[in-house]
Amino acid sequence: MKPQERVHPNVPGVDQSDRLVPINLRQSGPTPVQMLISTRVRKSPFWHLSIEAGCWRATVYNRMYHPRGYIRPEDGGAMAEYDALVNRVTLWNVAVERQIRVRGPGAEAFVNRIVTRDATKIEPMRGKYVIVCNDKGGILNDPVLLRLDREEFWFSTSDSDLLLWLQGVNTGLGYDVDIAELDVSPLQIQGPLSEDFMADLFGKAIREMPYYGLMEAELAGCPVLVSQTGFSGEAGFEVYLRDATLNAEAVWYALRGHGARYGLRVVAPAHHRRIAAGILSWGQDMDTETSPFQVNLAYQVPRRKEADYIGRAALEAQRAEIDAGRYPFRLKMVGLAIGGRPITDYAPDFWLVSAPDRGRVGYVTSPWWSPELCHNIALGFVPHELSELGTRLTVELPEAYCDQSGQPVAAEVVQVPFRPSAHPSARERARAAGRDYVV
């Protein structure tokens, strides 16, 4: 039997020939199973507190159980959580963002070898969003990098095992550093009332903290590191609890108790809002076979960085191709405005994108309904020649979201981010000033 004759009928013909492991585009639908809770997957110190707060579903992230829903569908579900985020203030259990510390005399040089951006320019008590690439330029992780002092960095990791990569790399490089996971668990405080709420807890220094600034503090007698960061596009902060195994209850109840006067609500990480802000999710929008040049992260690859870093040769070769007018990848990430009924929950599949006279050409990675724009929005991959703003496409939505089963809905390539962020990126600021953002 020929290979093409063995292909299951729900596997589409989207060209992914530049990948070794193609994205799974089987349209299998929901997975109605009960998640097994066992000791093979870690529970964070906040897990039981999330259950107490009403968590009714979870996923696995960094080999830890990760709350992904508090408000039941019959009470408004994820969109009710969205309302709390964009109008008030919310508390997120994000202990799954494991904290990997690199400390020692060689810390700066080692970290600068690991990340594509210039780590030497990060001052103590500041942070940066960074990417870590392999030797082929594929994105291994996109952590927030926190610099506590000259010889100490924390990687606040996304959903891949960065600890093993860092320890493995240094086995060969031999920098004078200690690399270990900490008993530190972060919580996020996100929403327009977050600054007032945090200032009540930690004083006026919160109002003077720059974006990606850090501050050592105490809450309920427990040591915490506070940063002005988040995964929402709204104003927000993260509270990194030290000795979290011992202190989880004290800090959680302090935040919830004080937050009552602000209408604070415990919610899941707001993927509907981060999509609107153009914030990527590792494993969903990118992975180890994705180049930063495919997903609007070119600014993470500086043209001028003195020190060498892992992936540099591959990334510079890719940029040279792009500069010469030759796009070296099959697909590119774009923003999409999509028709159909409101998408108000997580997509169980990578829904398929088609183009007139070409059939299926790409797929959606992160879709959701935007109440502000009154239509569905999404991040997705399409061929480079179909990535221009205004390009008309179609998306095959499941029956729950379209008027006629099996009939694709209209879609259009649009600008990302879909709506302004509380802290505009350098790209957004350049666009607002009427100039290109050059890296």
Annotated binding site: 238
Q: How far is the first Cα of the chain from the last one, in angstroms, to the nearest whole number?
A: 50
Specify the 3-state DSSP secondary structure of 83.
Answer: helix
Specify the 3-state DSSP secondary structure of 123.
Answer: coil
- What are the binding residues for substrate? 238
DSSP β-bridge partners for residue 65: 60
Residue from 249, 240, 241 nearest 46 by CA: 249
Strands 331-338 and 409-414: antiparallel
Q: Are 270 and 371 in contact (CB under 8 A)?
A: no
| CA atoms of 372 and 419, how far apart (whole Å) | 8
Cis peptide before 424 (omega within 30 of 0): no
The separation between CA 129 and the C-alpha centre of its own chain, rounded to angstroms, equals 10
Q: Which residues 6+ apart lie within 8 Å of 311 measured at CB?
A: 116, 133, 134, 135, 136, 137, 138
Q: Are 422 and 236 in contact (CB under 8 A)?
A: yes
- Tell me the CA distances in angstroms from 262 to 250, 257, 431, one per residue in order: 19, 10, 34
- Tell me the CA distances in angstroms from 432 to 1, 377, 425, one per residue in order: 57, 21, 11
Count other Cβ atoms within 10 Å, centred on residue 99.
Answer: 23
| CA atoms of 414 and 137, how far apart (whole Å) | 27
Strands 265-266 and 90-93: parallel
- Tell me the CA distances in angstroms from 124 to 120, 202, 358, one per residue in order: 10, 20, 52
Residue from 210, 239, 205, 244 nearest 92 by CA: 239
Burial (Cβ within 10 Å: 0-12, 13-18, ≥19) of residue 371: middle
Using left for φ > 0, alpha for ψ between -120 and 50, and beta otherwise, residue 125 falls in left
